[in-house]
Amino acid sequence: KRRCFMGIGRKKAMVTGECVACGCCEGKCPLNAVEVYKGVIAKVDTGRCVGCGRCADHCPAQVIFICGQEAVS
């Protein structure tokens, strides 16, 4: 699994510009936070995304990353 950590905050998925809009990630998110936008690129609703990584796990192009980390209390 690819993961990137960019500061403290809630985890979320990020799609890079190399997305080929294959749709393999759609329907894998339990919160429906990922959709292919206009047949061009997968987009993540960061308000819904909890960073579970299911979309990234199903991306054959490996262009979806989980960014952020849990806040330390």
pTM of the predicted model as reported, rounded to 2 decimal places: 0.77
| 3-class DSSP assignment, residue 27 | coil
Share of the chain above pLDDT 90, in %: 53
What is the model's pLDDT at position 19? 92
Asked if the model's pLDDT at residue 28 lies above 70, the reply is: yes
Tell me how many degrees the CA angle 48-51-55 measures, rounded to the nearest 5.
90
Summary mean pLDDT of the chain: 83
What is the model's pLDDT at position 73? 42
